[in-house]
Amino acid sequence: MNIKQHTIKKSITLSGVGLHTGVRANMTFLPAKPNHGIKFQRIDIEGHPTVDADVDNVVDLSRGTTIEQSGARVNTVEHVMAALTGLELDNVLIQLDGPEPPIMDGSSIQFINALKEAGVEEQNALRNFFEVPEGIFYREPGRQVEIAALPLDDYRVTVMVDYNSPVLGSQHASLNKISDFEEEIAHSRTFCFLHELEMLHKQGLIRGGDLNNAIVVVDRVIKDEELQELASLFNKPKVEVRKEGILNNVELRYSNEPARHKLLDLVGDLALVGRPLKAQILAARPGHAANIAFAKKLKKMMNDFSRNNNIPAYNPTLPPVLDINQISKMLPHRYPFQLVDKIFHLDESTVAGVKNVTINEPFFQGHFPGNPVMPGVLQIEAMAQTGGILVLNTVPDPENYWTYFLGIDNCRFRKMVMPGDTLIFKCELLAPIKRGIAKMKGYAYVGNTLVSEAELSASIVRKNS
């Protein structure tokens, strides 16, 4: 799995009709900056409102997943979201001049191909994985639906479907690693049963349905006059039924293509949690309603876990967002006052960094001989330098700016810091930066212990101004 965030290198556009609305739309994927996430934008609506790809924005699950925000609605987002997840893309803006992404061939592969044509670009920010800390379960006993997420240092998905149909029967599909998505899952197309077609048509759905973008499973004996009606419904001169029970001689791409498509839908729906997942997902008879209900449980766990675990997760084996050479280009501090060794998290509102404390620090010669304790004022200075990275990250040319302390409030020292300790600093903005003034809350941890904290104010000033 990718460690750093990714976007696309250039914009690219696809066109086609939506499966359920039948409205033709142009959909353009555009690059986005780190920590932007996935957002849809309805450019056909006044003000061009955006809709975050977030499970909290789901408003309808009629044969697909529909999201809405700020008066803008986007239908059937799951195939696009699955493609973005399969390519491990974190930051993309998707502009639409209609209510629904094009259905294309009913799978995700054409979205995958377009995004690869646009090019994938690594960004200088780490991905914010949610590692499921314990088992989480969802059940619908009446429909025999079960979905579970179990702890795993990877992302794997297994799906079982059983429609009590002589045509489909029981099927399984698995995604053992996300890099297999394009080859193993992305080509699988949406499907429905013949007995559902009339109901969906009467409900005003599948207006963009076509025998080229959906598999129709015939699970009963069908008369010639019904075939004629179906041909009229799909504007075809003739439709037929294969002996395998598939309408109009559509060749299945896999013997278990329906199960693979259910897995595709599940991946797309779970992407609305908003963060890449590390988990083993097991699902029996999933559907959009169950997927979204489960995604909401996952997001609640994610939010609860984040609130209760304010300590930044630091993994020393991962590459830093900024190493010491990059930090030195941004900050003017030098020995013995360069007090931050690496930055391992950086977004628009939060930064996290590391200082390794050793007996070779110059201040230990006098503070205190025989009882080396890191001075509290230097902990705050190191915290402020970490916060300075956050402030300087808001300008395109940080090397041309100075950052200055303006104030320290509510400072507390909780525990002594000794040689051998690794200090983890976290600074987060308390309010948007205005007129070059930043207010931050800073924390310093050793392991899981808070050792110091303070509210910091700083100004950012252009050099030679």
Note the helical H segments in 309-355: 324-330
In a 3-state reduction of DSSP, which class is residue 348? coil
Residues 6+ apart with CB under 8 A from 353: 340, 341, 342, 343, 344, 385, 386, 389, 424, 425
Task: Quote the strand ranges of 301-349, DSSP E.
Answer: 342-346
Per the listing, tokens 């939010």 go with 303
Q: 288 catalytic, yes or no?
A: yes
In a 3-state reduction of DSSP, which class is residue 222? coil
From 44, 74, 43, 41, select the one nearest 57 (Cα to Cα): 74
CA–CA distance, 387 with 349 (Å, rounded to integer): 10
Task: Quote the strand ranges of 57-211, DSSP E.
Answer: 58-60, 66-69, 72-74, 92-96, 120-126, 130-131, 136-140, 145-150, 155-162, 170-175, 191-193
Q: 367 catalytic, yes or no?
A: yes
In a 3-state reduction of DSSP, which class is residue 192? strand
Both tokens assigned to 455: 């509210």
Task: Quote the strand ranges of 247-290, DSSP E.
Answer: 277-284
What are the distances in angstroms from CA 390 to CA 34, 128, 149, 346? 14, 17, 34, 7
CA–CA distance, 12 with 328 (Å, rounded to integer): 37
Q: What are phi and psi of 10, to 5 degrees?
A: -150, 165
- Size (the chain), residues: 465
- Give the active site residue among 6, 201, 288, 333: 288
Catalytic site positions: 288, 367
